[in-house]
Structure 1
Amino acid sequence: MNMSLCIGLTLSPTWLNGEGWRRADSKAEQLFSSQYYLELAQRAEAAKLDFVFKPDSLFFNKEMADKSPGHTCLDPIVMLASIARETEKIGLVATMSTTFSEPFTVARQLQSLNWMSEGRVGWNIVTSIEGSGNFGKGEMPSSKERYERALEFTEVVRKLWASYPNEALTINRESGQFADQEMIFPIHHKGEFYHVEGPLNVPAFDSTSIPLFQAGASDLGRNFASFVADACFAATPDLESAIELRRDLHTRAHKHGRDSRAIRVLPGMHFFLGETREEAQQLYQDAYAHLTNEQRLAAVQRILGVDLSHLSLQSRITAKDIPEVMENVRSRTHADLLRRIIINEEPTLQTLLSKPEVIGSAHWVVIGTPADAVEEIIRWYRHGALDGVIALPGGSVQSLNLFLEKVVPLLVEKGLFRKEYSGNTLSEHLHEKVKK
């Protein structure tokens, strides 16, 4: 038996990006309705996916509000709490920031949700790249400081989860003992960033630790992920970068004294699916047709910190056109990905401006039929590029429908994904093997 592919579905409706929200079938009016997300989670559970994943933003760019939903989103914990009561098996992964939160609050909220879902919670650890003004802070801390804070933050949360173990709950009516206080202990944490007394006032749901997810692909992010993560989300636009990232994370995990196989690497797969390839290609083109060259150039400048507007569309973009050291960029991960594409391909400016990493995201993009998507997933899997995928449907809800109704069943037929859940918790899903 081999490990099953791990498949998660984003609860951010990526198929509404660009002009997608204007489609008649978008249900954009329901974006702030709990029922909208519940139905997505129930469909994902019916397909036996490992988890649904709620990204989060702690800032809002109002300039985007005229043309798109932007970074508007419901609070992950509140959303997933509503889903927990109406689902039974599917994992629920919440994004919570270590830059703008407190360890005690995060530990308490996640463990509470773990009880409500009976062990189905995961924590996506983010360091945040924007939003300091919403929390009474000045400039964003450096990437180094954010990851140092994240490491200590995670350590404190884990200590708090361990401070009131499930085994301490005796609930002995005859003796009158509810919990064994000898097993509950303060953590007395005093570090560089946090002083936390403890113990947590919510006992652990069981003896299994809540799975940790992380998405940083920079050197600092990789080191952090390889040290703490059970699964790593990845923005890998091509097979080569995915193979390199997975190998590097395994190597770093081994150096930290961990079993490298403990980390499941899950690239984001941004897919535009149609019954035919022509239909899928049209869906992709329609999704970004509204973007002008000026807007695309502005996107390049945001990502790389360089203005290319003085060049003609037929000019070749090479390493000399971009700085060797990129400072003050919004996302180091995204900048590194686009820089690598320029160095490897030396595209014309026109070609660069049509790249998904510029007009869409830095994720792996698949445009085609469900069979094409399955072929690509298998190709990446056989090359050691992934342990699963995060499903990011694009263009319209059709892409989501075809993924759940055709792509997943095809993966089941090929023995790469489960027919039924064999476990009840997220931890069990992550380590499940496919029965041949």
Structure 2
Amino acid sequence: MTRTMHLNLFIHGRGHHEAAWRHPASSPLPLTDIRYFTEVARKAEAGLFDSIFLADSLGVGEDVANAPRAWLEPVTTLAALAMATSRIGLIATCSTTYTEPFNLARQFASIDHISGGRVGWNIVTTWLATASGNYGGAGPLSHAERYERAEEYMRVVTALWDSWSDDAVLDDRASGQYARFDGLRMVNHHGPHYQVAGPLNMPRSPQGRPVFVQAGSSETGRRFAARYAEAVFTAQMEKATARDFYTDLKRLVVEEGRSPEQVLILPGLSPIIGSTEAEAQRLARELDDLSDPEVGRKRLSGRFGGHDFSHLPLDKPLSPEDFPDPASVEAARSRTEVIVGLVRREKPTLRQLLSYMAGARGHYVTTGSPERIADLMEDWFRDGAADGFNLMPPVLPATLDVFIAEVVPLLQRRGLFRTEYRGDTLRAQYGLPRPDLHFSAEAAERLSQGAST
């Protein structure tokens, strides 16, 4: 089969540009109105996107006075979107730091049943200080602690999703037997962070378990992705670094004993797009005029764990010394590395850096006509930098509409994108197999003896 690119739509606020909510082309609906998400999801499905994605934040940002977010809780929102769509995949973020494994396993298995097998889980290890305060913690966990906890978490939730065999449910009305008890397995996990008996109180879902999605690009995050992820969202500011990331992660996947074709790498792409080059440039100017650099300064501070950038003048060229060492940052370390790398290469002023980050928070931002956007996507795809893209429209739904109407047909004519859905599940869209049951009775016995910890 000819290799074709995958497209995920990242629904964020009224668009990924920080000023999108102020632009007249953005949706007039409140961000708490499910009709907004339903409308955008249906557009993406009509455009044959593989999936949509909803991120999450477990606290209120310091920029809340000037920057609205997507306020609805993403997992429950997916359940509503499952009933409004029929083919497109549905991915949501849920935290391994602040969610009990049993609860998460139930929620995602439920949505996989509700949607007929279309759910994906974006695995995050939450670092926000405000989140810790909301969940009774003394303070945020360190980068190493979060990933240590996540490793155990993955063992537990996978065991829960595998705790029912595919043929456990008989539903035999004549005999009076609903399920085979020998088709259920105890989990009996006793670890440093979790004590979970199991089994899950729900039969195995259509996909077996959700598609695993991950977005960490630090060294620890890449190793975690190589072990578990089936799709990876990554922020890259140029093709060269995207290609290096792609090559390195595929190498790590092989080292973990997995096939590189079973891990899709989808860099973020935020195209400021118009039907013509002039139209696109006009939209870019309009968004820049609506931006507030002080809002951007607050967001930059948040990216670096609260570091104070207030002393930096807006129009003086930056150097890496103006930033904390990314290795010392306990927040989203991979994004800090991307930002410092850009500063080292291009030496922008703070105003220029904030303007770039206003577009998509460190993802690749470009401006141009449909032909230019299609050319760029083809170049990255064919040159080993991407298996597809995590599309981040600057303004929703306006720039999504232009992308579907004008870029998608160009990709289809070039043989780079599907002309119809290939199946009914997210695994079918991504070309991923349904996982076999790996949680055997012998594994249950080993877990009960504590050998897994």
* Fold match by TM threshold 0.5: yes
Whole-Å Cα distance in 1 between the matches of residues 314 and 108 of structure 2? 51
Seen in structure 2, the aligned counterparts of structure 1 residues 87 and 65 have a Cα distance that, compared at 3 Å, is same
The one-character-per-residue Cα deviations of 1:238-260 (angstroms, maximum 9, x if unpaired) are: 11111111111111111111112
Whole-Å Cα distance in 2 between the matches of residues 220 and 162 of structure 1? 26
Q: How does 1:298-313 map to 2 (within 5 A)?
A: 298-304=298-304, 305=307, 307=309, 309=311, 313=315
Q: Would you say the 8 A contact 2:326–2:336 is kept in 1?
A: no
Whole-Å Cα distance in 2 between the matches of residues 349 and 252 of structure 1? 35
Q: Would you say the 8 A contact 2:63–2:298 is kept in 1?
A: no
Q: Which runs of 5+ in 1 are unaligned?
A: none
2:101 alignment partner AA: P
Calculate percent identity across the aligned residue pairs.
Answer: 34
Whole-Å Cα distance in 2 between the matches of residues 248 and 15 of structure 1? 31
Q: Would you say the 8 A contact 1:45–1:89 is kept in 2?
A: yes
1:283 alignment partner AA: L
Q: Quick check: 1:83 aligned with 2:81? A: yes
How many Å apart are 1:401 and its aligned residue? 0.8
89, 111, 114: which one aligns with 2:112: 114
**411-420 or 13-22, which deviates more:** 13-22
Match of 2:241 in 1: 241
1:339 alignment partner AA: V
How many Å apart are 1:177 and its aligned residue? 1.6
Q: How does 1:382-397 map to 2 (within 5 A)?
A: 382-395=382-395, 397=397
Seen in structure 2, the aligned counterparts of structure 1 residues 176 and 253 have a Cα distance that, compared at 3 Å, is same
Q: Would you say the 8 A contact 1:160–1:198 is kept in 2?
A: yes
Seen in structure 2, the aligned counterparts of structure 1 residues 371 and 14 have a Cα distance that, compared at 3 Å, is farther
How many Å apart are 1:160 and its aligned residue? 0.3
Whole-Å Cα distance in 1 between the matches of residues 28 and 266 of structure 2? 28
Q: Quick check: 1:100 aligned with 2:98? A: yes
2:333 alignment partner AA: R
Q: How does 1:163-312 map to 2 (within 5 A)?
A: 163-206=163-206, 208-304=208-304, 305=307, 307=309, 309=311
> Deviation above 6 Å: which 4+ runs of structure 1?
none
Whole-Å Cα distance in 1 between the matches of residues 23 and 323 of structure 2? 37
Seen in structure 2, the aligned counterparts of structure 1 residues 303 and 163 have a Cα distance that, compared at 3 Å, is closer
How many Å apart are 1:359 and its aligned residue? 6.3
**111-120 or 76-85, which deviates more:** 76-85
Seen in structure 2, the aligned counterparts of structure 1 residues 43 and 72 have a Cα distance that, compared at 3 Å, is closer
Whole-Å Cα distance in 2 between the matches of residues 289 and 141 of structure 1? 38
Whole-Å Cα distance in 1 between the matches of residues 207 and 19 of structure 2? 46
2:95 alignment partner AA: S
Q: How does 1:29-44 map to 2 (within 5 A)?
A: 29-44=29-44
Q: Would you say the 8 A contact 2:11–2:52 is kept in 1?
A: yes
The one-character-per-residue Cα deviations of 1:320-343 (angstroms, maximum 9, x if unpaired) are: 444446534642122101111122
**321-330 or 105-114, which deviates more:** 321-330
How many Å apart are 1:291 and its aligned residue? 4.0
Q: Would you say the 8 A contact 1:297–1:309 is kept in 2?
A: no
Whole-Å Cα distance in 2 between the matches of residues 221 and 98 of structure 1? 14
1:357 alignment partner AA: M
Q: Would you say the 8 A contact 2:25–2:395 is kept in 1?
A: no
Q: Quick check: 1:65 aligned with 2:64? A: yes
Match of 1:336 in 2: 337
Seen in structure 2, the aligned counterparts of structure 1 residues 201 and 299 have a Cα distance that, compared at 3 Å, is closer
2:59 aligned counterpart, secondary structure: coil
Whole-Å Cα distance in 1 between the matches of residues 331 and 259 of structure 2? 33
Q: Which runs of 5+ in 2 are unaligned?
A: 433-453
Seen in structure 2, the aligned counterparts of structure 1 residues 297 and 185 have a Cα distance that, compared at 3 Å, is closer
Whole-Å Cα distance in 2 between the matches of residues 225 and 265 of structure 1? 10
In the superposition, the TM-score normalised over structure 2's length comes to: 0.88
Whole-Å Cα distance in 1 between the matches of residues 36 and 396 of structure 2? 15
Whole-Å Cα distance in 2 between the matches of residues 15 and 323 of structure 1? 29
Seen in structure 2, the aligned counterparts of structure 1 residues 382 and 101 have a Cα distance that, compared at 3 Å, is same
How many positions carry a matched residue from both structures?
A: 428
2:136 alignment partner AA: G
2:392 aligned counterpart, secondary structure: strand
Whole-Å Cα distance in 2 between the matches of residues 309 and 164 of structure 1? 58
1:60 alignment partner AA: V
1:40 alignment partner AA: V
1:428 aligned counterpart, secondary structure: helix
How many Å apart are 1:85 and its aligned residue? 1.5
Seen in structure 2, the aligned counterparts of structure 1 residues 349 and 178 have a Cα distance that, compared at 3 Å, is closer
Q: CA RMSD in A?
A: 2.2
Q: Would you say the 8 A contact 2:112–2:207 is kept in 1?
A: no
Whole-Å Cα distance in 2 between the matches of residues 6 and 106 of structure 1? 26
Q: Would you say the 8 A contact 2:91–2:120 is kept in 1?
A: yes
1:267 aligned counterpart, secondary structure: strand
Seen in structure 2, the aligned counterparts of structure 1 residues 428 and 294 have a Cα distance that, compared at 3 Å, is closer
How many Å apart are 1:207 and its aligned residue? 6.1
Whole-Å Cα distance in 1 between the matches of residues 64 and 297 of structure 2? 20
Whole-Å Cα distance in 2 between the matches of residues 153 and 253 of structure 1? 20
Seen in structure 2, the aligned counterparts of structure 1 residues 159 and 129 have a Cα distance that, compared at 3 Å, is same
The one-character-per-residue Cα deviations of 1:363-396 (angstroms, maximum 9, x if unpaired) are: 0112111111111100101110000111110145
Q: Would you say the 8 A contact 2:189–2:197 is kept in 1?
A: yes
Seen in structure 2, the aligned counterparts of structure 1 residues 110 and 180 have a Cα distance that, compared at 3 Å, is same
Q: Quick check: 1:327 aligned with 2:325? A: no
How many Å apart are 1:110 and its aligned residue? 0.5
How many Å apart are 1:102 and its aligned residue? 0.4
Seen in structure 2, the aligned counterparts of structure 1 residues 291 and 209 have a Cα distance that, compared at 3 Å, is closer
Seen in structure 2, the aligned counterparts of structure 1 residues 31 and 347 have a Cα distance that, compared at 3 Å, is closer
Seen in structure 2, the aligned counterparts of structure 1 residues 363 and 289 have a Cα distance that, compared at 3 Å, is same
1:309 alignment partner AA: H
Whole-Å Cα distance in 2 between the matches of residues 207 and 360 of structure 1? 32
How many Å apart are 1:14 and its aligned residue? 4.8
Seen in structure 2, the aligned counterparts of structure 1 residues 396 and 423 have a Cα distance that, compared at 3 Å, is closer
In the superposition, the TM-score normalised over structure 1's length comes to: 0.92
